[in-house]
Amino acid sequence: MPPRTSRAIVQTGPRQLELREVPIAEIDDDSALLRVEACGICGSDVEQYTGTLPVRLPLIPGHEPLGIIEKIGDRAAKRWGVNAGDRVAVETLIPCGHCRACVDGRYQVCRGRGAMFGYAYVPLSHPPALWGAYADYMYLDPFSLVHKMRKDIPANIAVMFNPLGAGFRWAVELPDTGPGDSVLILGPGQRGLASVIAARAAGADTIIVTGLTRDAQKLALARELGADHVIDIEQEDARARVRELTNGHGADVVVEVSAYAPEPIAEALFYVATGGRIVLAGVKGFKPVPDFISDLIVAKEITIKGAFGVTWRAYESAIRLIESGRVPLAKMHTHDFPLEQAERAIQMLGGEIASESSIHSCLLPEQKMQPPMNTDEHR
Ligand SMILES: [Zn+2]
Ligand SMILES: [Zn+2]
């Protein structure tokens, strides 16, 4: 039996998090209760924490949940094809199923229930309050999309379905990447590395990743995960290197996953081959792109696509890849945090902690805080 309350991190304002006990409501026939095993930490957690991303506060953050179905209504079990005790990966978005986006097959941009309706984006005031995975338990709405996953994979690796799903959607599905394609990935963060893994799995030919001098370790990791070449754009002439590595053609596919800086978008037009495809997935805080030369799009017949969120199919590709054990994903996972250290987890990914930085990290609510060492015992 689950307890009557759940520990949860509640965000009350920019940079304000507090640990609270939140009542667990009864579920009905169409919904379920998830016991959270792990919640991935990603760039948008940082933006939500600092207040860059507008959300309705107070709320429980955490939009990359992995967990065990603790309780489930009979109808939900039938509709979702899962039972109590199953491990599931939960999609962030909770689509309405009826709006134009949903019926068009673009449920990841559904706004049918108002604003962005998904885990970590629904305020605490909306019953039953437990709408985020920075908690021991999370409510599963009747319109949730859940993917059953094998239970023998460590939770901190299984929870990578999220960045990897994004890799499949952004680096494979949207640009239609396949054998023979050269793929250039701008940015070696967890999404960039996930794009490397996905492009490799899709049979891409040459994979190149760019980064800054301070990204040396991440660029080395990109090589280990399947990139053929890496470029330090501060030390090398990136345009010339891309041309050289693609036999003078430029990259067939460019995936832009760098955070904040808009300059790589203008550069992408130079890197891409004639007739090539560019996918933009890194958000830039609504800043304009300086030196953006649109004539290059015309002259080279470039296709540019925006990417928001992940699709069911891309998540499935990610989950099958994780379950296959073919890729050494553990190399990408750098940190586990107990629930109490949610703030530290976010700050570390955001580069706010000088001594240490993370690539893929997650909260493990079931992991207890290490008690401080009691020196008395050793006397
Ligand atoms: Zn995320
Ligand atoms: Zn909808």
Cα 187 to middle of ligand 1, angstroms? 16
Average pLDDT over residues 276-290: 92
CA distances from 18 to 7, 49, 281, 369 (A): 10, 12, 31, 16
Under the banding of pLDDT at 50, 70 and 90, the label for residue 370 is: low
Confidence of residue 379 (pLDDT cuts 50, 70, 90): very low
Question: Distance, CA 47 to ligand 1 centroid (Å)?
Answer: 11
Whether 191 and 225 have beta carbons less than 8 Å apart is answered as no
Predicted confidence (pLDDT) per residue in 40-83, tens digit:
999 899 999 999 888 899 999 999 999 999 999 999 999 999 99
Is residue 315 a contact partner of residue 161, using CB atoms and an 8 Å limit?
A: yes
Does residue 337 contact residue 344 with C-beta atoms inside 8 Å? yes
Q: What is the DSSP string of 348-363?
A: HHTT--TT---SEEEE
Q: Which pLDDT tens digit goes with each residue over 233-257?
A: 999 999 999 999 999 999 999 999 9
What distance in angstroms lies between residue 189's CA and the mean position of ligand 1's atoms? 13
Mean pLDDT of 199-219: 96
For 54-84, b/e burial (b = at least 16 CB within 10 A) is ebebbbbbbbbbbbbbbbbbeebbeebebee
Task: Please give the average per-residue pLDDT across 285-294, as a whole number.
Answer: 93
pLDDT value for 201? 97
Ligand nearest the Cα atom of residue 103: 2
The CA 120 to ligand 1 mean position distance, Å, reads 10
Residue spans of alpha helices (H) in 73-215: 74-80, 100-103, 155-158, 161-168, 190-201
Instruction: Give the whole-angstrom CA distance, residue 208 versus residue 231.
Output: 7
Give Rg (Cα) of the chain.
21
Q: 13 CB contacts (<8 Å, ≥6 apart)?
A: 51, 57
Return the pLDDT at 371: 56
The pLDDT tens digits for 303-344 are 999 999 999 999 999 999 999 999 999 999 999 999 999 999
Share of the chain above pLDDT 70, in %: 97
Instruction: Tell how far the Cα of 2 is from the centroid of ligand 2, in angstroms.
Output: 32
Ligand 1 centre distance from Cα of residue 162 (Å): 7
State in Å: Cα 83 to ligand 2 middle: 26
* CA dist list (Å): 139 to 122, 144, 219, 341: 11, 10, 38, 22
Q: Which residues pair with 33 in a beta bridge?
A: 71, 139
Lowest mean pLDDT among 106-110, 155-159, 208-212, 264-268: 106-110
**Best CA proximity match to 188, nearest among 251, 257, 241, 250:** 257
Confidence band for 149, pLDDT divided at 50, 70 and 90: very high
pLDDT at 301 over 70: yes
Q: For residues 20 and 2, what is the distance between their CA atoms, to the nearest angstrom?
A: 17
pLDDT digits 0-9 by tens, 258-272: 988 899 999 999 999
Question: How many CB atoms lie under 10 A from the CB of residue 152?
Answer: 8
Overall size of the chain counted in residues: 379
Q: Is the pLDDT of residue 194 over 80?
A: yes
Q: Which ligand is nearest to the CA of 121?
A: 1
Residue 375 has what pLDDT?
A: 42
The pair of three-digit structure tokens given for residue 59, joined into one six-digit string: 């709320």
Q: What pLDDT does 289 receive?
A: 96
Cα 193 to ligand 2 centroid, rounded to whole Å: 31
Q: Is the peptide bond before 188 cis (omega within 30 degrees of 0)?
A: no
pLDDT per position as a tens digit, 90-132: 999 999 999 999 999 999 999 888 888 999 999 999 999 999 9
Averaged pLDDT of the chain: 94
Confidence of residue 276 (pLDDT cuts 50, 70, 90): very high
pLDDT of 54 reads 82
Which pLDDT belongs to residue 260? 81
